[in-house]
Chains A and B, each alone.
Chain A
Amino acid sequence: MSTMFADTILIVFISVCTALLAEGITWVLVYRTEKYKRLKAEVEKQSKKLEKKKETITESAGRQQKKKIERQEEKLKNNNRDLSMVRMKSMFAIGFCFTALMGMFNSIFDGRVVAKLPFVPLSYIQGLSHRNLLGEDYTDCSFIFLYILCTMSIRQNIQKMLGLAPSRAATKQAGVASISPGSD
C-alpha cells in the first residue's frame, strides 16, 4: 500500500472517529438529559402541528386563526432557542476539542499530499484543496480538504443512522425562526 493511499484511508478513519467523538460528547452532555429530550419532543410536536395548520389555512382565514398561528410560531421559536442553548454546552466542548485536534493533525499532515483528485478544483477551492502543498499540480489534495469532505458526508450519515438528527419539520421551523425579523 503506498504512503499516499495509507494517508487517504487514515484521514477517512480520523473523520469517522471525530464524528463519533462529537456525537459521543453531545450525547453525554446533551442528548441523554431530560431537559433536552423534553424540549426536542415538544419542538417536534409543535413543528408538525404548525406545519399541518399552515397547510390547511386559506386566504380567507379569520384574523383569530392567523393570530393563533403567530402565537404558536412564537412559542416554537422560544422552544427552539431553548434547545439551542442546551446544545451550546456541547458545542463549546466540541469546538475546544476539535481546535486542539485540528492543530495536531494539521502539523502532522503539513505539506503532505494525502490523495489525488480526479478533477482540478475551481480556483477559489484550490486555496483549501492545495493548502500548504508545494508545486502547481492542483490535483494534489491536502489533509484539510479531504477531511472536510469526509466530515460533510460521514457526520450527517452517522447522525441519521443513530437517529440523532433533528426532524425535518423542526429544522425547517428553526430556519424560519432564525431569519424572521425582530429576533435578537
Chain B
Amino acid sequence: MTNSSKRKEEIHLVNGGVKQSTWSKAFNSNAVWEEKDEFLDVIYWIRQIIAVILGVIWGVAPLKGFLGIAIFCIINAGVLYVYFSSFQQIDEEEYGGTWELTKEGFMTSFALFLVVWIIFYTALHYD
C-alpha cells in the first residue's frame, strides 16, 4: 500500500499536478481527483467567484436587462465547461454527465450574481 501511494505521488509530480491542497490541484491542469466531492466543490466555488466578478462588472458598466442575465448564464456555463473538459480533462460520465457538472452550484451563483449586480448598480447609478 505504501508503494502504490508513493507511486501515486510520483505520477502526480510527473504530470505536473502536486497532491497538496485542493486549490493547488484546481490550478493545475489534468490534476487527479480521487474524491468526486472535492472536484464538485471546486466547481461550486469557481462558480461563486465568477458570479461576484461578473456582478461587479455588470453593475459598474452598467449592463442592464435580460441581456445581462443571458450573458452571465452563457459565460458561467461556458467558462466552467472549458475548465472541466479542456483544462482538467475529466471524464464527465464519472460525475453524472455534463448537465450535472453544469448544474453544480448554479442557482446559488445566480442569486449571488443578482445581489452583487443590484448592489453595484444601485450604488453607482442611483444617487
| Chain A interface residues toward B at CB < 8 A | 2, 4-5, 8-9, 12, 115-120, 141, 146, 149-150, 152-154, 156-157, 160, 167-168
Contact = CB atoms under 8 A, between A and B. Distances in A.
B23 interface: no
Interface string B104-125: 0001110110110111011101
Given A119-B66, A141-B118, A167-B37, A8 B111 contact: no
B63 A118 contact: yes
Contact of B123 (A5, A120, A160): A5
B48 A8 contact: no
Q: Which 5 A-B pairs have the closest CB atoms?
A: A153-B112, A152-B111, A153-B111, A118-B121, A115-B122
A8 B114 CA distance: 13
12 contacts: A5-B123, A12-B119, A117-B118, A118-B62, A118-B118, A118-B121, A146-B115, A150-B111, A152-B108, A153-B51, A153-B109, A156-B108
Contacts of A156: 108
Given A2-B126, A152-B111, A154-B115, 13 more contacts: A5-B126, A8-B119, A8-B122, A12-B119, A116-B118, A116-B121, A118-B59, A118-B121, A141-B118, A150-B111, A153-B114, A160-B44, A168-B40
B68 A118 contact: yes
Interface string B30-68: 000000010011001000100100000011001111101
Interface range, B side: 20 to 34
Secondary structure call for the B interface: helix
B90 interface: no
A115 B119 contact: yes
Contact of B65 (A4, A5, A120): A120
A8 B117 CA distance: 12
Contacts of B48: 157
A55 B41 CA distance: 21
Interface in B83-120: 107-109, 111-112, 114-115, 117-119
A137 B99 CA distance: 37
Contacts of B107: 152
Contact of A149 (B65, B114, B122): B114
A80 to B, nearest CB: 18
Contacts of A5: 122-123, 126
A168 to B, nearest CB: 6
B59 A2 contact: no
B118 A115 contact: yes
Contact of A12 (B37, B44, B111, B115): B115
A40 B123 CA distance: 43
Contacts of B122: 4-5, 8, 115-116
A127 B123 CA distance: 24
A8 B118 contact: yes
Nearest to A141: B118
A116 B121 CA distance: 7
